[in-house]
């Protein structure tokens, strides 16, 4: 039999739903609804999802903000690539830039202080993974995403790009320090 021929039974779709089929439809529907309502529930009570703010910006404008902060608050340079380590004032706006293929600059934040952490990309889509505390965020050019953060554990953190962004994606690593108030970290 070919699909070019009409079906033998014209109204082939109008069959009573089998009991087993009905049960599966109900199970699937209930599960859909559970999954649906878990989204807002987990956002509010899950303590994992942050309520982000995001703004449309021009990538060049964002890069300018980063450079302005780097110019004002660089405290030292690290590695043989002379990456600036920036310690912005407690409570201020802090800018982190993703670009092919690095995180810029190295930020040094004080424990117990609250910052507005801006994250954006100069060129391409990247993914920010903050290790070892498992924060994940999409980083997009043209969007300034702002997270209000209060680091609670001093130490050295690694920034890892977890969105494939080209041939050197695997080398896109960065660093972030959280230091006790009034001190300065070093590598």
Size of the site for ligand CUA (CB under 6 A): 8
Q: Is 50 left (phi over 0), alpha (psi -120 to 50) or beta?
A: beta
Q: How near is the Cβ of 122 to ligand CUA at its closest, in Å?
A: 11
User: Segment near ligand CUA (CB under 6 A), from 10-18, 60-68, 69-77, 164-172?
Assistant: 164-172
How many other C-beta atoms are found inside a 10 Å radius of the C-beta of residue 28?
Answer: 10
163 makes contact with ligand CUA (CB under 6 A): yes
Q: How near is the Cβ of 173 to ligand CUA at its closest, in Å?
A: 10
User: Is residue 121 a contact partner of residue 92, using CB atoms and an 8 Å limit?
Assistant: no
Question: Edge-to-edge strand order for the sheet containing 74-78?
Answer: 74-78, 83-86, 106-110, 173-179, 155-161, 126-131, 135-139
Q: Which residues are bridge partners to 117 per DSSP?
A: 94, 147
Pick between residue 61 and residue 164 the one whose CB is nearest to ligand CUA. 164
3-state secondary structure at position 74: strand
Pick between residue 73 and residue 101 the one whose CB is nearest to ligand CUA. 101
Give the contact letters, 124-153, x = binds to ligand CUA (CB under 6 A), - = no.
Answer: --x---------------------------
Q: How near is the Cβ of 104 to ligand CUA at its closest, in Å?
A: 12
Give the contact letters, 90-119, x = binds to ligand CUA (CB under 6 A), - = no.
Answer: -----------x------------------
User: Segment near ligand CUA (CB under 6 A), from 33-41, 47-55, 104-112, 159-167?
Assistant: 159-167
Residue 131 in tokens:
């290790």
Options 96, 165, 176, 179; binder of ligand CUA; rule CB under 6 A: 165
Contacts of 130 (CB under 8 A, 6+ apart): 136, 157, 158, 159, 160, 176
Q: ω before 107 within 30° of 0 (cis)?
A: no
Q: Which residue in this structure is represented by tokens 């509010």?
A: 44
The footprint of ligand CUA (CB under 6 A) covers 101, 126, 161, 163-165, 169, 172
């Amino acid at each position: 039999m070919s699909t070019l021929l009409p079906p033998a039974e014209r109204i082939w779709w109008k069959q009573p739903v089998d009991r087993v089929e009905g049960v599966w439809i109900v199970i699937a529907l209930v599960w859909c609804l559970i999954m649906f309502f878990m989204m807002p529930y987990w956002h509010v009570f899950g303590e994992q999802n942050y309520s982000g703010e995001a703004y449309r910006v021009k990538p060049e404008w964002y890069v300018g903000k980063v450079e302005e902060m780097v110019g004002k608050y660089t405290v030292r340079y690290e590695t043989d690539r002379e990456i600036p380590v920036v310690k912005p004032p407690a409570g201020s706006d802090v800018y982190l830039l993703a670009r092919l293929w690095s995180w810029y600059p190295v930020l040094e934040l004080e424990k117990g202080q609250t910052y507005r952490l801006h994250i954006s990309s100069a060129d391409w889509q990247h993914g920010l993974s903050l290790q070892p505390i498992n924060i994940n965020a999409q980083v997009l050019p043209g969007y300034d995403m702002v997270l209000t953060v209060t680091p609670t554990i001093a130490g050295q953190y690694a920034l890892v790009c977890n969105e494939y962004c080209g041939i050197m994606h695997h080398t896109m690593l960065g660093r972030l320090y959280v230091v006790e108030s009034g001190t300065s970290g070093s590598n």
